[in-house]
Amino acid sequence: MTRKTTHFGYETVASDEKAGRVRDVFDSVASRYDIMNDLMSAGLHRLWKRYTIDQANVRPGQTVLDLAGGTGDLAREFAKKVGVGGHVVLADINARMLVEGRTRLIDAGVAGNLSIAQVDAEDLPFADASFDCITIAFGLRNVTGKEAALSSMRRVLKPGGKLLILEFSKPIDAVKPAYDLYSFKVLPMIGKLVASDEASYRYLAESIRMHPDQETLLEMMKTAGFERCRYHNLAAGIVALHVGHRL
């Protein structure tokens, strides 16, 4: 029987091996994750996430699922917005990232309306129609079965709810040469110097190139049953925010 395969960066691997390989990457970088994000993006990732939070437009009393939420920067802000009558679930498949997130949230004084769950985005362990809003920031490209994950997200989203996917995407042609140089030369060097992990950041650059571009992801969302789908290019298309609704 032929084993199903997928991409781990530019490498072809068995589909059932990818999750473990991705886990190893994030186990390696968890303690330096936020520092590396600031260095890699010159702090722009904070603006991209702020834009995502603004577009989510969550209200007091609502429920939010922050998938691949890692160290909890989006979840922290959503917890403020939904208030004591709402609830936020910080979810990630990686236990070490959740440990980092829990520590940061405790230090920030976030409690009461936020819980933490280790989950697989392809098979979410929540009841149908549980959340008003779902976000996944810089995490979908690491999911093996993206179609399954999108369907699972739609299932747990309430009618009238909104999905927001913030992810690296395909930049415009004018910036592509400089972006490629940075991705494959500078980024692994930063990883080696700051996080003592060149390989994980080479995987990052490769995984971005293998991720569906803006239009392809848009069609995948529509196929999964999302409606009123759109995307917004940020930083000349280096990053894109995709938005879809369950009506």
Pick the range with the lowest mean pLDDT from 22-36, 43-57, 142-156, 159-173: 22-36
The mean pLDDT of 114-136, rounded to a whole number, is 97
3-class SS of residue 247: coil
The mean pLDDT of 213-220, rounded to a whole number, is 98
The mean pLDDT of 3-24, rounded to a whole number, is 87
| Average confidence score pLDDT of the chain | 92
Q: Tell which wins on pLDDT, 45 or 29.
A: 45
Query: H or E segment at 13?
Result: strand 11-14
- Assigned CATH for 5-245: 3.40.50.150
Pick the range with the lowest mean pLDDT from 19-33, 79-93, 220-234: 19-33
Residue 179 predicted with pLDDT over 70: yes
* pLDDT at residue 158, as a whole number: 98
* pLDDT at residue 153, as a whole number: 98
Residue 222 predicted with pLDDT over 90: yes
* Residue 237 backbone zone (phi > 0: left; psi -120 to 50: alpha; other: beta): left
Q: Alpha helices of 30-114 — where are they, by DSSP H? A: 33-41, 44-56, 73-82, 95-107
CA atoms of 115 and 130, how far apart (whole Å): 14
Question: What's the whole-model pTM score?
Answer: 0.93
Nearest 5°: CA angle at 77, between 221 and 239? 40
The mean pLDDT of 89-99, rounded to a whole number, is 94
* pLDDT at residue 192, as a whole number: 87
User: In this structure, are residues 224 and 145 in contact, taking their beta carbons and an 8 Å threshold?
Assistant: no
Long-range contacts made by residues 28-34, C-beta under 8 angstroms, separation at least 24? 28/195, 28/197, 28/200, 29/191, 29/195, 29/197, 29/200, 29/201, 30/94, 30/96, 30/97, 30/99, 30/100, 31/100, 32/194, 32/195, 33/70, 33/71, 33/97, 33/100, 34/71, 34/73, 34/104
Residue 1 predicted with pLDDT over 60: no
Handedness of CA 40, 50, 232, 140 (dihedral sign): positive
* pLDDT at residue 34, as a whole number: 74
* Residue 118 backbone zone (phi > 0: left; psi -120 to 50: alpha; other: beta): beta
- Displacement of CA 15 from its chain's centroid (Å): 20
Q: What is the DSSP letter of 88?
A: E
Q: Tell which wins on pLDDT, 213 or 13.
A: 213
pLDDT more than 90, % of the chain: 71
The mean pLDDT of 109-127, rounded to a whole number, is 94
* pLDDT at residue 191, as a whole number: 83
* pLDDT at residue 2, as a whole number: 60
Residue 32 predicted with pLDDT over 90: no
* pLDDT at residue 73, as a whole number: 92
The mean pLDDT of 166-190, rounded to a whole number, is 94
Length of the chain: 247
